[in-house]
Chains A and B, each alone.
Chain A
Amino acid sequence: MTTIGWLQILIFSGAILALTKPIGVWMFRIFEGDRQPLPRFFGPIERFLYRLCGVDPKEGQDWKQYTLALLLFSVIPLLVTYAIERLQAVLPLNPQNLGAVGPDLAFGTAVSFTTNTNWQAYTGEATMSYLTQMAGLAWHNFISVTSGIAVMLAIARGLTYRLQPGAAKTIGNFWVDTIRGLVYFLLPISIVLALVLVSQGVIQNFSSYIEATTLEGAKQTLAMGPVASQIAIKQIGTNGGGFFNANSAHPFEGGNPLANFIEMVAILAIAAGQTYMFGRMARSQKHGWALFSAMAFFFLIGVTTAYYFETRPNSNTAMQGLAVDQTAGNLEGKEIRYGIANSVTWATATTDASNGSVNSMHDSFTPLAGLVPLANIQFGEVIFGGVGAGMYGMLVMVLLSVFIAGLMVGRTPEYLGKKIESREVKLAMLYVLIFPLIILYFSGWSAVVPYGLSSLNNAGPHGLSEILYAFSSAAGNNGSAFAGLNANTPWYNITQGLTMLFGRFWMMIPVMAIAGSMLGKKVAPPSLGTFPTDGTLFVLLLVGVVAIVGALTFFPALSLGPIVEHFLAQAGKVY
């Protein structure tokens, strides 16, 4: 651990903190404000798109109509992407003449991008044509984000709106939220960010791959492509699907250290800003900051733990005899130009936020440092979380926390003045249940069958961690991989595809139903008897509930993976 390292982590945290309010205010103005933030430029575009799509922006939808629109807007693009992948050989923009993508991989990939997971079981530069990358995949990088935002808006409105008796129970208009999200939010940021990244060494072209001669005189093929435009949205949209297989560790994708820092900030900034926006919707900025604090708490614990274990001499006593400078910490699988601090910060941020992009190989972390990204995902992707998804996931956790707290203070639990009753508890539990179910079910299955084990490159507990990581990443719609596991097999493509679908939509639908049932509830004014949701106590309670729900569920499985691996390493055992 070095002062410079800590300083980098500190500066990163400060940058997120500083951006939270402006992004929150901006989002509030886009989705809930009376006046759009960039009306002169973008107003005509917004109105044109409404006309083009036949959307009446004043028409509200109830939660069922809203959900239906959301599902249609996911399923149809899913099918289109699948078709593009299968037909890419005969479609234009394929200078490398790449063949059709296999059916199981095409399914897994289409699902992966639709669900904002961006799990990549393939090597991008060797599998996907430019058309597939842009029209098939990059497109999802935008609309999967707006879908996440839409669900968050729905539940935020359900929780915070105070309907007059007899008012229509509408929760917004999915098409309006989507178009505004694209026009005022994602497109402007992406364009600006892409230009900034280009200035810092990230490439953007349509040329075919370049043959280069290295200093040693060897021949090398340098993959090219429209990278910067995809990286911008990959980072801000918590997508994480890299253009290249090495993701942001690749010099053309990750750029220089400044570009790395900007990309890293982009991972968390929007999710953090959502807490501020929610605070404003809830008419309690302090409550927004309380949510932010709970998330920040987990982030700081995670990054500190990972940094601590990565900078110590390798815990595996068998490794300590090797001719490696142990005092530098564990540099395996890391880019020297980023260093340990930036690598663990990225690893923590990318798994906190269901982003999934990487600038180092999580697989090569020491066992307990590697536990951090895995546990981050298993906490349910609510530590900032995916754009939209993290916030609505956290709100479900808040409902459960407030339910228990409410009982403890002797009142029917209520959140923002609205009572939490059996219907909401039922839906929240449905949301909580599906996540461990799919992860543990498919991991358990894969751990004992030949077709699950055959693609594993590591034996021992580390192999199990890789399987657990893969399904956790899929269920949490994260998309990062622990590597070491070849996931491009029919078994993994299909099970991962299903896991991603369940992890996305089976969790979105209960959230939408909660939004619907909370919307029309009467609001009780707060009193001294109401449990305050804006203080330290609330933050601690929320942290406790998230930790307990996550830890209690996954502790047995984790103890067979990274935890036992740690103890084995200390005893000098290798596999």
Chain B
Amino acid sequence: MADLKKQELSLFAPEILRPAVWQSFRKLTPRLVIKNPVMFVVEIGAVLTTLIWLRDLVAPTAQSQPLWFTANVSVWLWFTVVFANFAEAVAEGRGKAQAANLRKMRKDTIARRLVNGKREEHVPASELRKGDVVVIEAGEFIPGDGEVIEGIASVDESAITGESAPVVREAGGDRSAVTGGTRVLSDRIVVRITTNPGESFLDRMISLVEGAKRQKTPNEIALNILLAGLTLVFLFACVTLVPLALYSNISISVTVIVALLVCLIPTTIGGLLSAIGIAGMDRLVRKNILAMSGRAVEAAGDVDTLLLDKTGTITLGNRMATQFISAPGVTMTRLADAAQLASLADETPEGRSIVVLAKESFGLRGRPIADHPQFIPFSAKTQMSGIDFTDNGTLRRIRKGSVLAIRQHVAGIGGSFPTEVGSAVEAVSRQGGTPLVVCDDAQVLGVIQLKDVVKGGIKERFAQLRQMGIKTVMITGDNPITAAAIAAEAGVDDFMAEAKPEDKLARIRAEQAGGHLIAMTGDGTNDAPALAQADVAVAMNSGTQAAKEAGNMVDLDSNPTKLLEVVEIGKQLLMTRGVLTTFSIANDVAKYFAIIPAMFMTVFPEIAPLNVMHLASPQSAILSAVIFNAIIIVLLIPLSLRGVKYRPVGAGALLARSLLIYGLGGIIAPFVGIKFIDMTLVAMGLV
């Protein structure tokens, strides 16, 4: 089975490299190269120099450059294009490998289609249309994407998510969506198919990882325009240099002027641009997130407000008992014991956590209770649960429940509610906890504090986000006091208490009107409007179909905390483009110092001081610059596929660092590189 996580291929695995090499030559077709204006200019230059070489081979003229020189320039220009193609092919390679695995999953299963809701007929899964209803039983594959309309089943979704633990899918509620290609492990469900053939989740996933329908993202388009503009500027500068040099009786050969042009235009970023984009999408896929468009990934980098659901994102799923507070004259052990007894039959996570807390704090174990204990289950009406049993002949009625319920219960059987317990209750509420009061008959024993447990490390994460300039807003159905306490503990910037789905939507609209870009996660159908409104909306794969359709990303692992990583990947994508652009342009300085003296040296030997690198000869200088220009593309492929590391520091510090490494470094590196290549050429006796 295709398991995206486990079968991850390393960047330069042979099964990626081999086809990539072949692809990089196949991509020399002008039809494909023309999409990249910078590389197209290089290819034209390569064709031109090749033709000149052929002409000189047949009929050399007096002005001709030596054949070896033209041949070398020409070959390295071809290499420049090939290297750029190679970068793109490697980036696509991993996606293709994943797509091949996914395709294997799309085996044609036989679906059991229900006709008129009763009769079953067997049809190939590929013939299922939207709206068909199918039955799936344990051991069978789900034939297509759909929504459970009847039944409950555990489903193995490891094929899609890589997560081996089965998940529960049931009709109604927020866990009703099933994905084609996954397998039902137990029970029987009836599913309504929601996609037509070719549009299924799997199909979309395949086309996404393959990059088949990759469209340029807005920032990529803008950058492309900038690069095309720079290419034009350098084209003017190079072409007009011919007559300007002719003024001083310097005749510059076409080969040399093409070499200068190719060195000056931003080939490094031009050659790596599409690889960067593909690799960015790929990084998301490897995190098990499917982005429906590259636009969404870029938008993730721009997001400045995160709306986060409290439960599951900021806190662990459920409240837990964290503390017992006993009433005056009651020992802690007695309170814990009573609390444990009252919770023995309570299968809710809260109930279990009380049993566990009593065990851990006071060594109390759950024990069998003699004489037909009677468990009183929790009901919405009574707001209490507990146990009635006979202890040494006397009937004990232990109850735990909300303050109000216990107060009434105790009053009803002639007890009193100690004021100390009342203030303990208030204190717990103030700290964001939920108080449960425990009583044994008419005596109030004390308070159990239930609290949301904030996920470990989340506070640091939010602090980082703040450094990145991103505001976090916690959304919760809790009352404002509880919400404020948790918000403070988790370190979010803002919170929305007692929030209803409509409030979420209203909040998003309000933030957007203020110029903010919002990201959120959601899984329920009632989240759909807010997901649709948010700029970046990550739907949980476990969520409903409506939520998935409203969002622009789907997280296959259904882990809401991953939103933070999405933001980082978005930023990384833009940063990688930015730094390589800077690097590419900064490189030009050294190339000028290599080529300009070389061009004019014959007529103006006095210009020699400009040859600061002391390159061996004019031809060696030009060739070294061209070779450097080609090789640097290959050297930067790993960086462009991995992306530059994002650091959660302010924009100013980030930029200063990038400018230092890629701006200043981009000026210095080619001086070293070109000199090195020049020395190598001399050592090899080539020049």
Residues in A lying within 8 Å of B, measured CB to CB:
165, 400, 403-413, 417, 420-422, 424-426, 429-430, 432-433, 436-437, 440-441, 443-445, 447-448, 453, 460-461, 463-464, 522-525, 527-532, 535, 537, 540-541, 544, 548-549, 552-557, 559-560, 563-564, 567-568, 570-571, 573
Contacts and interface: CB of A to CB of B under 8 A. Distances in A.
Contact of B578 (A407, A447, A559, A564): A407
B287 interface: no
Nearest to B514: A525
A447 B243 contact: yes
B182 to A, nearest CB: 35
Contact of B515 (A420, A523, A563, A571): A523
Contact of B600 (A413, A436, A559, A571): A559
Interface in B554-609: 570-575, 577-579, 581-582, 585-586, 588-589, 592, 596, 600, 604, 606-609
Given A444-B242, A557-B240, A564-B600, A411 B609 contact: no
A531 B237 contact: no
A422 B222 contact: yes
Contacts of A563: 607, 610
A555 B596 contact: yes
Contacts of B654: 408-410
Interface of B: 218-219, 221-223, 225-226, 228-230, 232-234, 236-248, 250, 260, 264, 298-299, 301-302, 304, 466-471, 513-517, 570-575, 577-579, 581-582, 585-586, 588-589, 592, 596, 600, 604, 606-610, 646, 650-652, 654-656, 658-659, 662-663
Nearest to A424: B222
Given A524-B517, A529-B470, A552-B589, 20 more contacts: A403-B226, A410-B574, A422-B221, A424-B222, A433-B229, A436-B237, A441-B240, A461-B248, A464-B244, A528-B467, A528-B468, A528-B650, A532-B652, A537-B656, A556-B238, A556-B596, A559-B596, A559-B600, A559-B610, A564-B600
Closest 7 CB pairs of A and B: A529-B469, A407-B578, A410-B571, A429-B229, A527-B469, A408-B578, A528-B469
Contacts of A417: 515
A163 B428 CA distance: 48
B652 A527 contact: no
Given A407-B578, A528-B468, A563-B610, A444 B222 contact: no
20 contacts: A409-B578, A409-B651, A410-B572, A410-B575, A412-B219, A412-B302, A421-B222, A429-B228, A443-B244, A447-B244, A528-B466, A528-B468, A532-B652, A537-B659, A540-B659, A544-B663, A552-B233, A556-B592, A560-B600, A564-B604
Contact of B243 (A406, A448, A532): A448
Contacts of B247: 447-448, 453, 463-464, 560
Given A437-B236, A532-B652, A445 B243 contact: yes
Classify the interface of chain A: helix, strand, loop or mixed: helix
B301 A408 contact: no
A409 B655 contact: yes
A88 B479 CA distance: 87
A33 to B, nearest CB: 26
A552 B218 CA distance: 27
A436 to B, nearest CB: 5
Given A429-B229, A433-B232, A525-B516, A408 B655 contact: yes
Contacts of B244: 440, 443-444, 447, 464, 556-557, 560
A425 B225 contact: yes
Contacts of B608: 567
B219 to A, nearest CB: 6
A425 B220 CA distance: 11
B574 A407 contact: yes
B246 A447 contact: yes
B578 A448 contact: no
Nearest to A440: B240
Contacts of B468: 528-529
Nearest to A544: B663
Contacts of A410: 301, 570-575, 578, 646, 654
A418 to B, nearest CB: 9
Nearest to A552: B588
A448 B251 CA distance: 12
Contacts of A573: 606
B513 to A, nearest CB: 8
Interface centre among A430, A436, A460, A564 (most CB of B within 10 A): A564
Given A433-B233, A436-B233, A531-B652, A560 B571 contact: no
A555 B571 CA distance: 35
Nearest to A523: B515
Contacts of A437: 236
Contact of B264 (A445, A531, A540, A552): A552
A432 B231 CA distance: 12
B575 A522 contact: no
Contacts of A443: 240, 244
Contacts of A528: 466-469, 650-651
Contacts of A432: 229, 233
Contacts of A553: 233-234, 236-237
B194 to A, nearest CB: 34
B243 A564 contact: no
Contacts of B471: 527
Contacts of B228: 429
Nearest to A441: B240
Nearest to B226: A425
Contact of B241 (A403, A411, A552, A556): A556
A429 to B, nearest CB: 3
Q: Count chain A CB atoms within 10 A of each CB in B243, B246, B250, B585 and give the residue with the most.
A: B243
B236 A532 contact: no
Residue among B226, B239, B471 facing the most chain A CB atoms (10 A cut-off): B226
B218 A407 contact: no
Nearest to B222: A422
Contacts of A570: 606
Nearest to B647: A410
Contact of B655 (A405, A549, A557): A405
Nearest to B248: A560
A409 B650 CA distance: 9
A408 B577 CA distance: 7
B582 A404 contact: yes
Which of B221, B516, B652: most chain A Cβ within 10 A?
Answer: B652
Contacts of A567: 604, 606-610
B236 A440 contact: yes
Contact of A422 (B225, B304, B571): B225
Contacts of B607: 559, 563-564, 567
Contacts of A403: 222, 226
A239 B232 CA distance: 31
A2 to B, nearest CB: 29
A460 to B, nearest CB: 8
B533 to A, nearest CB: 15
Nearest to A528: B469
Contact of A412 (B248, B298, B610, B652): B298
Contacts of A555: 592, 596
A126 B319 CA distance: 96
A537 B226 contact: no
A524 B219 CA distance: 17
A289 B421 CA distance: 63
A530 B226 contact: no
B515 A522 contact: yes
A544 B588 CA distance: 13
A548 B582 CA distance: 11
A557 B596 CA distance: 10
A422 B516 CA distance: 20
A531 B304 CA distance: 13
A488 B220 CA distance: 48
Contacts of B517: 524
B454 to A, nearest CB: 23
Contacts of B585: 548, 552
Contacts of A532: 651-652
